[in-house]
């Protein structure tokens, strides 16, 4: 049975109102907004310390010079942003979340695995990571205990995500003004005091590939969210404009802050258990305080997307809840679990964050390979009837995803807990898991999926018993 809502709408542009329903298509009367809003929707959540820390890792952990790190960021962020643009452009056409659109690529039931991975990654994993960075920043600013600051940050995040799409978009819009001004000033001071040539290049090819993979993991980590924030746009919205604003907003914000983080490592300054305080130590007092506040606000900007999209991914698994506010209820549950994980991760945030970024890329690489091939194939076909039909099947897509994931991790993963045969034998390759997973899954699906076009899907939909 198709998932539908009242075509008359009723939610539209109400800001302080709980978004009704779950993952059903957005009613025509509720469509509103313009592609331009996507610039701040995707810039605001990246104007935070988690983005800065990717730049810090590239130089201080992966052993790159500043300029090597800059090239790695442009490559990793560029690839992730291009994919994000393509996926965002498809949102207005069907009015459903990204994980629901994946049902044509993997089948209704085959989509359960990617949706489950997405719900855990966004609603719990990323939520915990960003809550920690926001709590550290607020603690450095106010002098309050980190745990108390974590409670404050998490509570604000959950409230915004509970209300849903329109309040989330409003927060991103107004937070962007503050975040852009403060981080621009912090970046100018950081670059003025930095010595880009002082960072020694000791990481080699392996370090460079790790930095590319980490940057890609961070930026492409937003790819499974893409259509979640374009599905409310009018069906007449230009796909090119939708993709351009989403992709550019994502690329500029991630690249500028990663470069700022890399530059900050070349400045002698205070160190300690609070990484946010260490990053702002070289700034004038007033700007340091403003930056700490911006880091906390940026963590909230990222996490309201994480909780909101994580809840949508959970519902995209076909979970049926007898609640008018079922998405809001799931957001509350995810926020509670994410808070516990954030609390447990306060003591070793840096190492956990590095590993988390790489693991994100592991499953997103093959997922993205299949989804982009399927997106190209169905670009001229209406697959709307398939999205809510449990009889929709696509075993080549699911098999390609699973094969790309298993083979790439088994042979190329380079983690503290597991070093695969290839990087063990040739350490200089670093971590190519995401690239191998993407290429393998996309290539397999191009071959195996030749007889499973979107037109074929529609024929089976009419004839299935």
Q: Tell me, what's the pLDDT at 458?
A: 43
Cβ atoms within 10 Å of 23's Cβ, excluding its own:
25
Looking at residue 460, what is its pLDDT? Answer: 46
Q: How many CA atoms lie within 13 A of 5 on its CB side?
A: 21
For position 270, what pLDDT does the model report?
Answer: 54
Average pLDDT value for the chain: 85
The percentage of the chain sitting over the pLDDT mark of 90, rounded to a whole number, equals: 50
Any idea which residue has 């010079």 for tokens?
65
Contact 404, 438 (CB under 8 A): yes
pLDDT band with cut points at 50, 70 and 90 for residue 386: confident
Handedness of CA 404, 405, 406, 410 (dihedral sign): positive
Answer whether residue 362 shows pLDDT above 90.
Answer: no
Which pLDDT does position 461 carry in this prediction?
Answer: 40
Say yes or no to pLDDT of 350 above 60.
no
Q: What is the mean pLDDT of residues 184-208?
A: 87
- For residues 10 and 60, the model is more confident at 60
DSSP 157-207: HHHHHHH-HHHHHHHHHHHHHHHHHHHHHHHHHHHHH--GGGS---SHHHH
User: Domain coordinates of the chain in residue numbers?
Assistant: 35-347
Per-residue pLDDT of 392-403, as tens digits, reads 899 999 999 999
Predicted local confidence at residue 331, as pLDDT? 81
| Cβ atoms of residues 44 and 183 within 8 Å | no
220-238 pLDDT per residue, tens: 989 999 999 999 999 999 9
The whole-number pLDDT of residue 1 equals: 34
DSSP-based helix, strand, coil % in the chain, nearest 5: 75, 0, 25
Per-residue model confidence (pLDDT) at position 262:
93
**CB of 342 closer than 8 Å to CB of 140:** no
Residue 182 has pLDDT above 90, yes or no: yes
Give the per-residue pLDDT at 356: 62
- pLDDT, residue 20, reads 84
CB-based contacts of 383, cutoff 8 Å, min separation 6 = 94, 104, 454, 457, 458
35-347 placed in CATH 3.40.50.300: no
Place 280 in a pLDDT band, splitting at 50, 70 and 90: confident
Please tell me which residue, 201 or 220, carries the higher pLDDT value.
Answer: 220
Q: Encode 113-149: b = buried (16+ Cβ within 10 Å), e = exposed.
A: bbbebbbbbbbbbbbbbbbbbbbbbbbbbeeeebeeb
How many CB atoms are closer than 10 A to CB 27?
20
Say what the pLDDT of residue 272 is.
57
pTM of the predicted structure, to 2 decimals = 0.87
Q: Tell me: the pLDDT tens digits for 6-54?
A: 444 578 888 888 888 788 899 889 999 999 999 999 999 999 888 998 9
For range 103-123, the mean pLDDT:
90
Which has more confidence, 323 or 12?
12
Q: Is the pLDDT of residue 154 over 70?
A: yes
């Amino acid at each position: 049975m198709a998932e539908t809502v009242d075509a008359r709408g009723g939610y539209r542009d109400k800001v302080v109102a709980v978004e009704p329903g779950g993952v059903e298509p957005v009613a025509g009367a509720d469509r509103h907004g313009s592609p331009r809003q996507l610039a701040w929707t995707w810039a605001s959540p990246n104007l935070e310390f988690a983005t800065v820390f990717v730049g810090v890792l590239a130089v201080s952990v992966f052993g790159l010079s500043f300029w090597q790190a800059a090239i790695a960021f442009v490559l990793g962020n560029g690839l992730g942003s291009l994919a994000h643009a393509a996926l965002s452009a498809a949102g207005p056409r069907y009015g459903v979340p990204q994980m629901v659109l994946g049902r044509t690529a993997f089948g209704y039931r085959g989509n359960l695995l990617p949706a489950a991975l997405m719900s855990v990654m966004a609603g719990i994993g990323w939520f915990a990571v960003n809550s920690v960075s926001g709590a550290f920043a607020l603690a450095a600013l106010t002098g309050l205990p980190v745990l108390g600051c974590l409670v404050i940050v998490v509570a604000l995040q959950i409230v915004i995500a509970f209300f849903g799409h329109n309040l989330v978009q409003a927060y991103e819009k107004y937070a962007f003004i503050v975040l852009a001004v403060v981080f621009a000033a912090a970046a100018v001071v950081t670059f003025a005091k930095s010595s880009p040539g002082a960072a020694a290049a000791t990481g080699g090819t392996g370090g460079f590939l790790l930095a590319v993979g980490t940057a890609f993991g961070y930026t492409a980590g937003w790819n499974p969210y893409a259509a979640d924030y374009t599905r409310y746009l009018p069906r007449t919205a230009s796909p090119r404009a939708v993709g351009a604003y989403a992709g550019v907003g994502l690329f500029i914000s991630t690249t500028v802050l990663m470069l700022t983080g890399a530059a900050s490592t070349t400045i002698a300054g205070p160190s300690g258990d609070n990484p946010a305080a260490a990053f702002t130590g070289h700034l004038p007092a007033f700007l340091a305080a403003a930056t700490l506040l911006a880091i906390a606000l940026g963590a909230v900007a990222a996490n309201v997307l994480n909780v909101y999209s994580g809840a949508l991914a959970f519902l995209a698994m076909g979970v049926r809840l007898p609640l008018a506010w079922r998405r809001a209820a799931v957001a509350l549950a995810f926020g509670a679990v994410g808070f516990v994980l954030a609390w447990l991760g306060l003591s070793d945030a840096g190492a956990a964050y590095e590993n988390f970024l790489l693991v994100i890329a592991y499953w997103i690489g093959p997922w993205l390979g299949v989804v982009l091939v399927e997106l190209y194939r169905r670009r001229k076909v209406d697959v709307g009837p398939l999205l809510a039909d449990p009889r929709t099947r696509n075993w080549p897509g699911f098999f390609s995803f699973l094969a790309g994931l298993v083979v790439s991790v088994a042979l190329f993963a380079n983690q503290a807990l597991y070093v695969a045969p290839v990087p063990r034998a040739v350490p200089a390759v670093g971590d190519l898991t995401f690239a191998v997973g993407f290429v393998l899954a996309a290539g397999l699906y191009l071959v195996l999926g030749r007889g499973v076009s979107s037109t074929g899907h529609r024929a089976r939909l009419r004839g299935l018993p």
